[in-house]
Structure 1
Amino acid sequence: MKNGRLGEDVKYVEPRSSPTCCEKFGQWIKDNLLLVLIIIGVVLALLIGFLLKEHSSHDFTKREVYYISFPGVLFLNMLKMLIIPLIVTSVVAGLATLDVSTAGRMGWRTVLYYFCTTILAVILGIILVVAIHPGKGNPDDMVRSGQSKQVKAEDAFMDLLRNIFPPNLIGATMEKYKTFEPEVEDPGETTLNATNGTADNDAMLLIMSDAPKGGMVSGMNVLGIIVFSIALGVTIAKMGELGTPLVIWFVALNEAVMRIVWIVMWYSPIGIMFLVLGRVLGMDDWATVAGQLGMYCVTVITGLLIHGLIVLPLAYLIFARKNPIKFLLNVLPALLTAFGTASSSATLPVTIRCLETKARLDKRVTQFVLPVGATINMDGTALYEAVAAIFIAQVYGYDLDIGGYITISITATLASIGAAGIPEAGLVTMVIVLTAVGLPAEGVTLIIIIDWLIDRIRTTVNVFGDSVGAGIINRYTLRDFEKQEEEQFHGVDAIEMGEGRYTADNEGFTKDELMNPL
C-alpha cells in the first residue's frame, strides 16, 4: 500500500488487544514488588508473633527478643546513617535552586499547613476522649511500667530554642542539649576551702540556687541541622553565579544519597518484619493490658485513624485536587516503614523516595517540606498527647475546666513540635503536658505498657501528614516555579555542554541540569 503524499509503503499494524486482568495484575506486582514484599513482611511478623505468644509455652527473654530483632536493628541503623547527609543535601539543594521570594512563600505555606493540621488533630483527640471517657479505672489497681521524670515546660521549650542554634555544628550530628532538674545538696555536706575558709563554689551554687542544670546528651540535633541547612541554602541562592559550583555539588551529593536509599529499601521487608516481630514477642500480657487500657487504646487509635484516613485525605482532595487514595498507595511503603521503625526521622529517606518516584512531586518541594515536617510536624503525637493527658486526669479524678482543655491544646501542639522523631519520644513530651495542667507526672507510667503499639500508629500518621503537606504545597508552589523559570531563562541563550545544558547568564544552570546533574 502506497502513501499518496510521500509515495512510501505503509505497513499494516494489527491493533493491540487490551491486557487481561491477569496481565494487569502481573504488571502491578512487577511495578510494586517492593511494596508487596513489605506488606508480606509485616503480615508474617504479626501472624508469627501472635501465634508464638498464644500457643507457645516458652516465654521469650529480653535477650532472645534482642537477637530476634537484630536484623531489624541493622535496617534501622542503615536509615539513621542516611538522615544527616540526606537532610543537609536535600534542604540546601532544594532552597539553593530557588529565589528567595519563592522559598519564603513555600516556607510560610509549610508552617501554616503544619500548624493547622496539628491543631485539628488536638481538637479531634479532645472531642473523642471527652465523649468516650476511657479513664474510669483506679490508678492504684493498674499495671505500671517504667519511671517518670519531672520536666518543666519552660525548661523544655528553652531546650527547643537552644537546640535551634547549636554551638557546634559537627557536635549537633551526635548530641543535643537537655536540661536536668537540679540536685540540691545537704548544707551539712558542704566542704570548706582551707585557703580562704569559704564554701566550695560548686557546692555553694547548688545550695544557693535552684537554677536548672543541663548538658549535652546523646542524640542527633536534627532541628539545629535543618536551621543551618536552610540558612546555607538561602545564602547560596542569593550568591548567583558564585554559588553555582556549590549548588551542583549539593545536588549531585543528594542524588548519590538517594541511590543509596534505594539500595537500602530492598532490605526493608526483612528489617521491618524482624522489628515488628521483636516488639510483638516482647510485649507484656495482652489480656491484662486490654482489660485495663482497652478503651484508652480504642480512643487513641480511633482518633489516629479518623485523622489519617479522613481528615488528611479530605485536605488533600480539597487543596491538592487529586485522588487521595492513589496518593495513599504511592506513599504506602513509607507508611509501612514508619510502622516498623516507629521513627519519622528514620523513615525520611523512604518518604522522599516514594514522593519523588511514585507521586512525582517536585524535588525542590520534597527536599524542603519533608525534612522540616519530620522534625516539627507531629499530628499523631499531638493527638495522642491530648488524649493521654485527659485520660490520666480522668483516672486520677481531676476535673478539667475549659481553661484546662485550652492549656492541653496549646501545650500538646507546642510539645509535639519539640518531640524528637525517634521511637517513643512522645512519652518525654507527655510529661510537659501533664505538668502544664497540674497532673502527676507518674501518670505516664500507666500508659507506657501499651505505648509501643500506639507509637507505631501515631508515627505512621505523622509521616502521612508530612506527605500530604508536600502534595498540597507542591500544587501551589509549582506556579511559583514556573514564574521563576520564565524570569530566569527568558531571552537567554543556552549553551550545549555534553548531555546537560547551562545558561550563559549569571543565574547559573538550568532546571534540568540542576535537578538531574548525572
Structure 2
Amino acid sequence: MKESKLTTKILIGLILGILAGLLLNSTPNIATTYIKPFGDLFLNLIKMIIVPLVLSSLIVGAASMGDIKKLGRIGGKTLGYYLTTTAVAVFIGLLLGNLFQPGIGIEMNVDTSSIKAAKAPSIAETLVNMVPSNPIQAMAEGNMLQIIVFSLFLGVAITAVGEKGKSLYHFFDSLAEVMYKVTAFVMNFAPIGVFALITPVVASNGPSVLLPLLKVIIAVYLGCILHSLITYSTTVKVFGKMSPKKFFKAVLSPATLAFSTSSSSGTLPISMKTAQNDLGVSEPISSFVLPLGATINMDGTALYQGVCALFVAQIYGLDLSITQQLTIILTATLASIGTAGVPGAGFIMLTMVLQSVGLPLDGSALIAGIDRILDMARTSVNVVGDLSASVVVAATEGELENPEGGKNNKDKKKTQA
C-alpha cells in the first residue's frame, strides 16, 4: 500500500509539473530559476546514494551466489538477454523510421557549430576501459562500468576466500541494508523532485518547438510502447511465467521516476526495491542484474538511434541500404554497452551511429532540440527492460517467488530493515 501511494504521488507530481510548465511556457526563466533547483537537489540526493548502493549490493550479490560457475551462468544469461532485446529495439526503431518517414518535408536549417563527432571505441578499448586502474578514482568519478567490474572481482574473491572473507561480506551486507534505508528516505522527496524536474523541461520546450518534430517524437514514443508491450510482455510471460499486467503494474513507479529524471542509474535504488518487494526477485539476482542493466542495457536508447538515424538520412534525401541499416543495429547494440545511464548520454551515442553509416552529423543538431523529450521515454524503457531481465533471470534460476506478482515478504523485510 505504501509503494502504491508513492507511485500515485509521483504521477500527480508529473502531471502537475506538465501543467505548470505549460503555464510558464511564456516565461521559462521562472521555472529555471525558482523550480529547477529543487529538481537538481533531488537528483543530487539520488546521485549521492548510487555509488555506495551499487558497490555494496553488487558485491553482496556476487558473493551470495556461493558458486563461481553459477555467477558465470547468470552473467551470461543477463548479458545475452540485454544484447538480444537491444537488437530487437533497434529493429523496431528502424521499422518505425521507415513507416513514419519523419525527415520527409523538413528543411535543414540549424546551427551545427557545436556538433562534434563521437568516435566509437573499439572492442579492445572497451575491454581495457572496463577494468579500473584505480578503483577509488572510478568511484569518485562515478564510472559505473569500472565499479561493476571491481565489485564483481571483490564479490567472487570473498566467496573464494571462504571463512576469512565472511567479516568483509557482513560489512558490505550491512552497508547495502543501510543504503536501502537511505533510499527509502530519499524517495519520500520523489514527487517534489519529479515536479521540479519536468516543469522547466515543458516550459522551455513548449508546443511550438515540438510540433515541427512531432513525427520523430511519436515514432520514438510509439516504438518504446511497442517494445515494452511486445518484447517485455513476451519474455516475462514465457520465461518468467508472470502475468504482464502484474509486471507493468509493479514497474509503474520506477518507470515514472525514470521518465522524469532521464537517468537509468538514478532510478536504480527504487528499481531494486521494486524487483525484490513487488516482483519477487531474490536479492542476489536483483543485486547483480539491475546494476549491470543500468550500465549496459539501453533498449530505449537503441530504439531511438534507429528512428533518428533514418530521420537524419531522410532530411538529406539519402537512402540507407539494408546493409547500412544492419550496421546501425550492430553499432547501436555494441555501443549501448559503454553508454552511461545518465541524461543526454544517448545523444552522444547517436553521433557514433550516424558516423558508422556515413550520415552527416549536422542533422543531429535538430535532434538536440528535442533530445530531453525523447530521453524521458527511452530511459523509461531502459529501466523496464532492466526489471524484465531480473524477472527472467530469477525465474530461470528458480529464484522468483510468486510469479503472479505477489509480495516477496522475506526480501521486503530485508530491504526495509
The TM-score with structure 1 as length reference comes to 0.75
For 1:26-175, list aligned pairs within 5 A: 32-53=4-25, 58-61=26-29, 64-98=31-65, 99-141=67-109, 143-144=110-111, 147-154=114-121, 160-175=126-141
Aligned-partner Cα distance in 1 for 2:258–2:56: 22
Match of 1:282 in 2: 204
User: Aligned partner of 2:84: which letter?
Assistant: C
For 1:494-513, list aligned pairs within 5 A: none
Matched, 1:263 2:185: yes
What secondary structure, in the 3-state scheme, does the structure 2 residue paired with 1:289 have? helix
Aligned-residue offset at 1:333? 1.4
Whether contact under 8 Å (2:86, 2:298) holds in the other structure is yes
Aligned-residue offset at 1:83? 0.8
Whether contact under 8 Å (1:251, 1:517) holds in the other structure is no
User: Aligned partner of 1:448: which letter?
Assistant: A
Match of 2:407 in 1: none
Whether contact under 8 Å (1:222, 1:375) holds in the other structure is yes
Aligned-residue offset at 1:257? 0.5
The percent of aligned pairs where both chains have the same amino acid is 39
What secondary structure, in the 3-state scheme, does the structure 2 residue paired with 1:361 have? coil
1:280/1:286 CA distance change after superposition, 3 Å: same
Matched, 1:459 2:395: no
Aligned-partner Cα distance in 1 for 2:156–2:71: 8
For 1:482-501, list aligned pairs within 5 A: none
What secondary structure, in the 3-state scheme, does the structure 2 residue paired with 1:32 have? helix
User: Aligned partner of 1:94: which letter?
Assistant: G
Aligned-residue offset at 1:158? 5.7
Aligned-partner Cα distance in 2 for 1:517–1:52: 39
1:146/1:76 CA distance change after superposition, 3 Å: farther
Whether contact under 8 Å (2:282, 2:399) holds in the other structure is no
Deviation per CA, 1:152-179, whole angstroms, max 9, x where unpaired? 2246x6653343122221111233xxxx
Match of 1:7 in 2: none
The TM-score with structure 2 as length reference comes to 0.92
Matched, 1:380 2:300: yes
Aligned-residue offset at 1:145? 7.6
Aligned-residue offset at 1:310? 2.7
In structure 1, which of residues 342, 350, 356 is the aligned counterpart of residue 262 of structure 2? 342
Match of 2:334 in 1: 414
1:265/1:359 CA distance change after superposition, 3 Å: same
* Higher-RCO chain (CA-CA 8 Å, sequence separation at least 6): 2
Structure 1 gap segments, 5+ residues each: 1-27, 176-219, 482-510
What secondary structure, in the 3-state scheme, does the structure 1 residue paired with 2:398 have? helix
Deviation per CA, 1:323-355, whole angstroms, max 9, x where unpaired? 121122212111111011100001101110111
Aligned-partner Cα distance in 2 for 1:152–1:39: 38
Whether contact under 8 Å (1:66, 1:278) holds in the other structure is no
Aligned-residue offset at 1:121? 0.6
Matched, 1:405 2:372: no
Whether contact under 8 Å (1:45, 1:273) holds in the other structure is yes
What secondary structure, in the 3-state scheme, does the structure 1 residue paired with 2:28 have? coil
Larger fraction in helix: 2
Whether contact under 8 Å (2:351, 2:364) holds in the other structure is yes
User: Aligned partner of 2:170: which letter?
Assistant: I
> How large is the Cα RMSD of the aligned pairs?
2.2
Aligned-partner Cα distance in 1 for 2:163–2:136: 28
User: Aligned partner of 2:50: which letter?
Assistant: I
Whether contact under 8 Å (1:418, 1:429) holds in the other structure is no
1:308/1:300 CA distance change after superposition, 3 Å: same
Deviation per CA, 1:373-413, whole angstroms, max 9, x where unpaired? 00000000011011111110111111211211111110111
Whether contact under 8 Å (2:89, 2:303) holds in the other structure is yes
Matched, 1:243 2:165: yes
1:357/1:431 CA distance change after superposition, 3 Å: same
Matched, 1:396 2:313: no
Matched, 1:312 2:232: yes
What secondary structure, in the 3-state scheme, does the structure 2 residue paired with 1:140 have? coil
Whether contact under 8 Å (2:354, 2:360) holds in the other structure is yes
Whether contact under 8 Å (2:180, 2:415) holds in the other structure is no
Aligned-partner Cα distance in 1 for 2:174–2:346: 36
Structure 2 gap segments, 5+ residues each: 402-409
Deviation per CA, 1:43-87, whole angstroms, max 9, x where unpaired? 11112222332xxxx4222x7514311111111111111111011
Match of 1:296 in 2: 216
1:102/1:273 CA distance change after superposition, 3 Å: same
In structure 2, which of residues 327, 333, 346 is the aligned counterpart of residue 426 of structure 1? 346
Whether contact under 8 Å (1:144, 1:447) holds in the other structure is no
Match of 2:406 in 1: none
Match of 1:477 in 2: 397
